[in-house]
Amino acid sequence: MPVPSLLVRERRLGRLPLFAAPLLAAALLEACGPSQPAPAAQAPHAGGGAPPAMPVGVRSVERHEVPILIESVGQAEGSKEVEVRARVTGLIEKQLYREGERVRAGARLFTIERAPFENAVAEARAALAQEQARTDQARREAARLKPLAAQQAISQREYDDAASTLRLAEAQIAVAQARLRDAQINLSYTTVNAPIAGLTGRAEKSEGSLVNPTDGLLTRITQTDPIWVRFSFSESEQAQLRGGKPGAVRLLDADGKPSGAPGKLNFAGSVVDARMGTVQLRAEFPNPDLAILPGQFVRAQVQAGVEQAWLVPQAAVVSGDQGKMVWTIVDGKATPTPVRLGSWVGADWAVREGLKNGDKVIVDNLLKLRPGAPVAVRPAQAAASGPAAPASAASAAR
């Protein structure tokens, strides 16, 4: 080393500095001391280099009766949608409702100027009175001539003419009465009422606008309680629905949990859409609080019956070369197991084939697993995950 040699040379010359004594002692200790062992990080694995078992959480699965659930994205619409139109020609005098609020059936929405139609009613009444007067005159004339014709004091033709005049007058009364009813109906149309209860739309015509039956759309009313949801199933899903016993229909929120009261199917199409390969369905839901708006997109879930299956967490299902699979523990090692899946049941996935009762399905550390890698079950998590499957299935069935 350079420092000791320098010190030796300096000693020979008799010029050993004071600061060199500590450096000389450290150098001698380094040269004469025993060699240090290799760091612990570089030591080989105990037991001949075998890697330690990876701790994993598992679920021990048992076969249960679970619901067959089919989901689809649908769109809400009103159970009734009515266009409110003007039925007479006139100016809109007043709008009597607030746009966007609910109205009851028969509520007044608009008024159209009444004066022309009131005059028409008065004119029809006057015409009816004239015809009644003519009829009374014809009846008196026929009554006067009848005994004279019987005594042959007048010709039979005179009496026949009087009788015909009476019948014509009576027919004119019927015509006048019909015209009066028409005038009264038109007068009633000047008040535009809500034909159904529901949610009103915006007013298409403002106060002062001239409307007529040809172009007289005033507003729209949508019945929102109950509300309908239209969605579609594929051919295979529709076959499942027909093969089972359809149960309740639920709407799901953003987290996939049931929201609101259950509904029921009220329409199932009998024709497959040639372009999409789907069948249209419709369900009806109570909507008293207007939680669902017409036109809103929602997730609908239909229970198509029940089946026997194992429940595993959705996160435990991965995609492999042979399709969907889960990791199970066999002889203390991670083993990929192909499975055939059914529907989602809450936070779990129903497995129809590929598992057997008592299989331990690995639920975490999936990215670190390799076929044949040793794994060790976390006792606390294994014990806690045991009863999860039946509880999940029971909650989904409800």
Residue 200 forms part of a structural domain: no
Residue 13 forms part of a structural domain: no
Same domain, 165 and 299: no
Burial of 310 (0-12, 13-18, 19+ CB in 10 A): buried
Q: Which of 188, 209, 235 is the last residue of a domain?
A: 188
Same domain, 150 and 238: no
Mean pLDDT of 318-329: 88
Mean pLDDT of 303-319: 89
**For residue 33, pLDDT beyond 60:** no
Mean pLDDT of 199-206: 93
Residue 106 forms part of a structural domain: no
Mean pLDDT of 320-337: 89
Strands 217-234 and 198-200: antiparallel
Strands 108-112 and 90-95: antiparallel
DSSP secondary structure letter of residue 374: B
**pLDDT band (50, 70, 90) for residue 231:** very high
User: Residue 94: enclosing H or E segment and its boundaries?
Assistant: strand 90-95
Residue 106's closest CA among 189, 194, 201? 194
Mean pLDDT of 170-198: 95
Same domain, 263 and 164: no
Q: Considering the chain, what is the average pLDDT of its residues?
A: 82
Question: Is the entire prediction scored with pTM above 0.85?
Answer: no
pLDDT digits (tens, 9 = 90+) for 105-164: 999 999 999 999 999 999 999 999 999 999 999 999 999 988 888 888 888 889 888 999
Q: Are 333 and 372 in contact (CB under 8 A)?
A: yes
Please report the pLDDT score of residue 32 as a whole number.
46
Same domain, 250 and 327: yes
Strand partners, 265: 283
Residue with tokens 């967490």: 313
Same domain, 164 and 276: no
Please report the pLDDT score of residue 237 as a whole number.
83
Domains in the chain, number:
2
- Listed in sequence order, the DSSP H helices in the chain are 2-12, 20-32, 115-150, 156-188, 235-243, 379-385, 388-397
Strand partners, 221: 82, 200
**pLDDT band (50, 70, 90) for residue 67:** confident
Residue 235 forms part of a structural domain: yes
**Where is pLDDT greater, at 24 or 93?**
93
Same domain, 182 and 229: no
Residue 372 forms part of a structural domain: yes
Q: How many CB atoms lie within 10 A of CB 316?
A: 23
Q: Which two tokens stand for residue 113?
A: 């100027």
Q: Which two tokens stand for residue 383?
A: 């014990």
- 3-state helix, strand, coil split of the chain in percent (to 5) is 30, 35, 30
3-state secondary structure (DSSP) of residue 296 = coil
Same domain, 386 and 340: yes
CATH of the domain at 146: 1.10.287.470
Strands 102-103 and 198-200: antiparallel
Mean pLDDT of 183-211: 94
Q: Which of 162, 188, 214 is the last residue of a domain?
A: 188
Instruction: Give the list of residues 6+ apart from residue 393 with CB closer than 8 angstroms, or none.
Output: 64, 65, 66, 67, 311, 345, 348
Please report the pLDDT score of residue 362 as a whole number.
92
Q: Are 56 and 378 in contact (CB under 8 A)?
A: yes
Same domain, 158 and 295: no
Burial of 257 (0-12, 13-18, 19+ CB in 10 A): exposed
Residue 54 forms part of a structural domain: no
Please report the pLDDT score of residue 299 as a whole number.
93
Domain that holds residue 63: 59-76+224-397
**For residue 92, pLDDT beyond 60:** yes
Q: What percent of the chain has pLDDT over 70?
A: 82
Q: What percent of the chain has pLDDT over 90?
A: 52
CA 180 distance to own-chain centroid? 51
Residue 396's closest CA among 244, 236, 248? 248
Strand partners, 77: 228
Residue 95 forms part of a structural domain: no
Same domain, 230 and 378: yes
Residue 193 forms part of a structural domain: no
Region of residue 212 (phi > 0: left; psi between -120 and 50: alpha; otherwise: beta): beta
3-state secondary structure (DSSP) of residue 128 = helix
